[in-house]
Structure 1
Amino acid sequence: MPIDAAKVLAAGPRSGEIAWTAKDVQLYHLGIGAGVPATDPGELRYTLESRLHVLPSFATVAGGGPPGVISGLSTPGIDVDLARVLHGGQSLTVHRPVPVRGAATATSRVTGLHDKGTAAVLVLRTDVADADGPLWTSEAGIFLRGEGGWGGDRGPAARPDPPDGEPDRTVDRPTREDQALLYRLSGDLNPLHADPEFARAAGFERPVLHGLCTYGMTLKAVVDTLLGGDVGRVRSYATRFAGVVHPGETLRIRMWRKEGAVRVAVSAADRDEAPVLADTVVEHS
């Protein structure tokens, strides 16, 4: 079997050095749709170096790529086809504001391997700290199709109840046809998002947008709409990837205010509100 569960769960933590610059931050922000309109003062906070603030979801690409999926697949005991891998969920806890430029140590460890029968879910936690202490903690759920069935723990099944009532705000955010090509320059070079032949082999009619691009676009919408554009108010952000987005489609982002938090649901407006992000919560100050 491609997955050796005992070896995976016994794997020790792995550490590496990461670094980023203002240009990396600006490129990430452009990749999630910032800069429209180009001269809007609110957008210049994401694009102009003299005013730059870092959206916390930048943490998912800081240092040149997502610490979850690719790093998780290199865990001892895992040997799977990349075409059968999907990003199942992502969470992020921010310990202090992400600096515009920095160098830090990222330490990743497997915290769970769940047997879903027809698939396995690998949970990878990454802690990042610089010379001044902890910066952020992220956790990625990696869905490995066809790799379950060894009789392991199924993992947690409970999900939060859906939000009640009508959303407090609903915004539409269009994606560009070249959005995935731009976003992948921040480090996620999985061909699923660019190569039509690879996408078809993976079971998709055409390349799909990175889930973490949708993740970033959604957080930006929440910050800009309900948090006064203040990226420093974000404390944590978690979601489950419930469906794909095709570049060029429009995201419909529904937001419900709760005390200290915003509940969010994201759908594809162009495909009969097909779910995109679910179980999504932004905790804030």
Structure 2
Amino acid sequence: MPIDAAMALAAEPRTGEISWTARDVQLYHLGIGAGANPDKDSPATDPDELRYTLESRLHVLPSFATVAGAGSPGVISGLSMPGVDVDLAKVLHGGQTLRIHRPLPAEGTATATGRIAAVYDKGKAAVLVMRTEVTDAAGPLWTNDAQIFVRGEGGWGGDRGPSTRPDPPTKDPDRIVERPIRPDQALLYRLCGDYNPLHADPEFAKLAGFDRPILHGLCTYGITLKAVVDTLLGGDVTRVRAYTTRFAGVVFPGETLRIRMWRGPDRVRVAVGVAREVPPLERGGEGAGGDAPVLADTVVEHS
């Protein structure tokens, strides 16, 4: 069996130094669409976008933690851990959970420790949970859990893992926003450190079962968090405490995301779909409203 759960869980954590600069933060923000003006008739940059793109005003969106230090250790690193030997073409990013311990600095050096925290047997697939804990001289910065879905690697009789999912919202969303995805968005975003050919190489995408390269799930993840911060949190990135999602579908560059938000006292429930017409059997998902769902069970916890 390509995945040896006992060996993966017993493997020594991998620890290394990571660093990032304001330029890395700016590139990430551009990679998730910062700097765009929602007023298509105006050639000027939206002044509110300068907090993401201008070094003298730079605030760091917490989802930058998923790529800081070129995203290592992360999903690809987890696939090279002892006990894990899988075909990259069978790998999908199943979900992401990020907990922020302190606001992220625009420049920094920190220690990242990565390990396989769990291995789940889903029958026709396996799920690896790659946990990365990052600290600097002042203490913990963030904890990142990436759920790595590997098709065809389940069925050994292991733990299926947690199955509890939040109940879907019962009322109309408080806010709905749309975010267009540029045709070259994946090519720009991959410069943040995720060079998986699934997002750039048409031939590799076909091997993985897609007509063309797909957008990184973490790019959609970042676009969504930015929409929540800008729309419901007054643009204050320091209010974000945690952010979790399950990747429920794919996005192709050139499509448009429709982001639905339900406001709570200390959290925002979110559902994200692609704003396109799809056959009825392919519709559904939390709050999808007829869109093709791409992020589900999504919660932003905030102060």
TM-score range, shorter chain: over 0.9
Given the two structures, how large is their TM-score scaled by the length of structure 1?
0.98
Matched-pair contact (CA < 8 Å) for 2:21–2:106: yes
Provide the residue aligned with 1:15 in structure 2: 15
Matched-pair contact (CA < 8 Å) for 1:110–1:125: yes
Provide the residue aligned with 1:70 in structure 2: 76
Provide the residue aligned with 1:282 in structure 2: 300
- Alignment match of 1:196 (pick from 199, 202, 205): 202
Deviation at 1:68, TM superposition (A): 2.6
1:186 aligns with 2:192: yes
Find the aligned partners of 1:52 and 1:167 in 2 and give their Cα distance.
Answer: 30
Q: Please show how residues 90-239 of structure 1 align to structure 2 within 5 Å.
A: 90-239=96-245
Matched-pair contact (CA < 8 Å) for 1:61–1:67: no
Given the two structures, how large is their TM-score scaled by the length of structure 2?
0.93
Letter in 2 for 1:35: G
Letter in 2 for 1:160: P
Matched-pair contact (CA < 8 Å) for 1:96–1:136: yes
Matched-pair contact (CA < 8 Å) for 2:73–2:113: no
Alpha-carbon displacement from aligned partner over 1:63-84 (angstroms, at most 9, x marks no partner): 0125331111011011111110
Q: Is the alpha carbon distance of 1:167 and 1:189 closer, same or farther for their aligned partners in structure 2, counting shifts above 3 Å?
A: same
Deviation at 1:216, TM superposition (A): 0.1
Identity of aligned residues (%): 77
Deviation at 1:246, TM superposition (A): 0.3
- Alignment match of 1:264 (pick from 256, 267, 270): 270
* Larger displacement relative to structure 2 (184-193 or 34-43): 34-43
Find the aligned partners of 2:72 and 2:111 in 1 and give their Cα distance.
Answer: 15
Secondary structure, in 3 states, of the residue corresponding to 1:270?
coil
**Residue ranges of structure 2 left out of the alignment (5+ in a row):** 38-43, 279-290
Matched-pair contact (CA < 8 Å) for 1:66–1:188: no
Matched-pair contact (CA < 8 Å) for 1:85–1:144: yes
Secondary structure, in 3 states, of the residue corresponding to 2:159?
coil
Provide the residue aligned with 1:3 in structure 2: 3
Alpha-carbon displacement from aligned partner over 1:28-56 (angstroms, at most 9, x marks no partner): 00000000125322100000000000000
Letter in 2 for 1:280: T
Find the aligned partners of 2:226 and 2:105 in 1 and give their Cα distance.
Answer: 17
- Structure 1: 4+ residue segments shifted above 3 A: none
Letter in 1 for 2:183: E
1:33 aligns with 2:33: yes
How many residue pairs were aligned? 285
Secondary structure, in 3 states, of the residue corresponding to 1:243?
coil
Deviation at 1:87, TM superposition (A): 0.3
Q: Is the alpha carbon distance of 1:103 and 1:267 closer, same or farther for their aligned partners in structure 2, counting shifts above 3 Å?
A: same
Deviation at 1:271, TM superposition (A): 4.0
Deviation at 1:163, TM superposition (A): 1.4
Find the aligned partners of 1:234 and 1:92 in 2 and give their Cα distance.
Answer: 10
